[in-house]
Amino acid sequence: MAREQLSEPRFNWNGFADRPQLAAALAGQVAALLTNAIAQRGTALLAVSGGTTPAKFFAALSAIPIAWDKVTVTLVDERFVPPSSPRSNAGLVAANLLQNEAAAARFVPLYHEAASIEDAAAADSEALRSLPWPLDVVILGMGGDGHTASFFPDAGNLDELLDPASRRIVLPVHAASGGEPRLTLSMARIIAAGFVALHIEGEDKRTAFNGAMGPGMKKPIRRVLEAAPRPTEVFWAP
C-alpha cells in the first residue's frame, strides 16, 4: 500500500490505511535503523514509549531478526510503579517487545524502588549515563492534551523538562493529568536522537495533533517538534 506522505517544516506525515500496515512499516524502518547503527558503531540505542498504542508495533518489531544482542532498549518515560503493575511501561515492553527475536536485547528500565521519585530520577541519570548515547531511535506517543513522553501541560517543571540545553538524562514529573508521578527522559536527550518517530492512531489523535500544530498556546508535542534539529516522522492510521 503506497503511503500518503505530506511534509511540513517540522514533521513528515506518514498516513497508513490501517494499524497493522502502520505497525509493519514502522517496525521495518526501526529494524533497518538499528541495523545501520550497529554497522556504524557496533551498538544501537532505542527508546520507546508506553501507553496503549505501541503493542502491535512492538509485536511486529520483536519478530524481525536483527542483531538484537547489540541493541539496548530503554523507555521514553515510566510511571512510578513496579514492573508487576498493569500501569508499568516496563511491563508492557517486556510482554510485547522483548519477545521472539528481540528477547536478546538488553533492557534498561527507569523504575526502581527509591525513597522518592526525585531520588529515583537522580539514580536513573547515573545508571543511564553509561548507555551508548545519543539515542539512535526514539518512538514517541501523544496524548489528546498534546503531551508526549511525560511532558504534561500541567507538569510543575515543564520548562525544565523541555529545556533543550538540559544536561539531565531522566527527570521526575508531578502532574495531576499524568496520574502517578512519572520518570521521563529529558527533551534534550530525545531530540538528539538520530531518528524520532511519533506514533499516533485514530481520528481523535489526528485532530489533537493538527490542533497542537495550529496557532495558539504551544502544546508540549509542538515544542518538541520545533526543538528537534530534524523533522519528526509522524506515523498515523485511523
Ligand X SMILES: O=C(O)[C@H](O)[C@@H](O)[C@H](O)[C@H](O)COP(=O)(O)O
In angstroms, what is the minimal distance from the CB of 40 to ligand X? 27
d(CA 66, CA 25): 16
Nearer to ligand X, 130 or 203 (CB): 203
In angstroms, what is the minimal distance from the CB of 201 to ligand X? 8
In angstroms, what is the minimal distance from the CB of 39 to ligand X? 29
d(CA 27, CA 54): 11
d(CA 216, CA 198): 21
Q: How does DSSP classify residue 2? A: P
Where along the sequence are the contacts to ligand X (CB under 6 A)? 49-53, 76-77, 89, 141-143, 148-149
Strand order in the sheet with 11-15: 4-7, 11-15, 232-237, 195-201, 137-140, 44-48, 71-75, 106-108
Return the amino acid letter for 102. Answer: A
Q: How far is CA 52 from CA 89, 162, 173, in A?
A: 10, 24, 20
In angstroms, what is the minimal distance from the CB of 161 to ligand X? 12
Nearer to ligand X, 142 or 175 (CB): 142
Nearer to ligand X, 89 or 232 (CB): 89
Nearer to ligand X, 109 or 141 (CB): 141
d(CA 237, CA 205): 10
- CA-closest candidate to residue 208, choices 148, 152, 154, 146: 146
Q: Which residue is nearest to ligand X (CB)?
A: 141
Nearer to ligand X, 66 or 234 (CB): 234
Nearer to ligand X, 18 or 69 (CB): 18
- CA-closest candidate to residue 192, choices 143, 235, 132: 132
In angstroms, what is the minimal distance from the CB of 200 to ligand X? 8
In angstroms, what is the minimal distance from the CB of 54 to ligand X? 7
Cell of 48: 520507546
